[in-house]
Structure 1
Amino acid sequence: MNNSILRKIIVGITAVGIGFFAAGCSSNGDDSPTTPSNETNSESSATNPFDTDSSADNSDVDDSDVADADSEPSRNNGESSDVLDSYIATVQEQSKDMLDSMGGIYSDIEIRAVHPSTMEYVYTYAQQVPTAESRDGLMQQSDSLQGICDSAVYSEMERFGISDPSVKFTYLNADSSDIWSYTCQ
């Protein structure tokens, strides 16, 4: 992977992250605690069709269908998972100083693989921020995030061998409650 391209992507995401902080934390001075949203994330509540739970009832499975499914190429096989894991490890290695560059805004920035083909950035604020105001400010940055994904991240992921790439940005408050998530389309 071209390290200079990856560094540009990381710098872009870092800049957007700082922009999120500025936009999301402009408060009206009301420091009263806010209640985390009760919105559910459809991605987290959806059942993963690729889970191999041994307790599942497989009595209706036709063995010939299973053999056919295994012989077809799929982006959800172990090889694709290995490619995504390898890519995430490379991004994590290249972005070790990303947290330091945020000037204490975030206590943690985690980059993780969400199989089959999603890279997720999880930003955790260092201090509790007003949830509603932060969510509103972060939502205003959707176009910037989408632009980064479209102009650089997707092509880099595809060049690395990840088909149908996706990028998700998740923002957590200091107490780990959800503030906002955005998945580039």
Structure 2
Amino acid sequence: MEFNGWIIFAYKIPSEPSSIRVRVWRNLKSIGVHYIQQSVCICPNTKELLKRLKKLELLIIENGGEITLLEIEKLSTKSEETILAEFNQERKLEYQEFIEESKKFFNEIENETKKANFSFREIEENEVELRRLKNWLIKIKKRDFFNCQLQKQAITRIEECERTFDEFTEKVYRSEGIAEEN
């Protein structure tokens, strides 16, 4: 990913209503910022992130808060190494959780296969879960600015989920007499 330095985003929000603080925090976490201390976060300087932070700036100001947005070309080498490691650690935890959750998907299909529960209802249920996993991975990858080491494993895992789902779907079709055996 190409980025031009860093953005430091510091903010103050009135304590009430707390819903605004929560909304700001959730938005910042979904963007993928890294908190360097309370109400002070950092992220790579990209057009997309800057645009999203500017929108958040308006929300904060409209609700009586204050923000400081700093665009910085370079951090010290040691600070940048630390920040990069912390970004990647955060993504690593997300990818690990994703991989763990995908195991439940495989287990569900394996259990339904063992029970020979080949029904359209099972296709629909598993399709919903597969879509949820795909969307989750897309969100993690958007926040993975520095290509965490687990990204490839997570991508491989979702591809395995898709293949497993396709195989299960084919078994349902065969059991329903819709597809011919090869």
Normalising to structure 2: TM-score of the pair? 0.27
TM-score, normalising length from structure 1? 0.27
Higher relative contact order (CA 8 A, sep 6+): 1
Q: Answer 1 or 2: which has greater helix percent.
A: 2
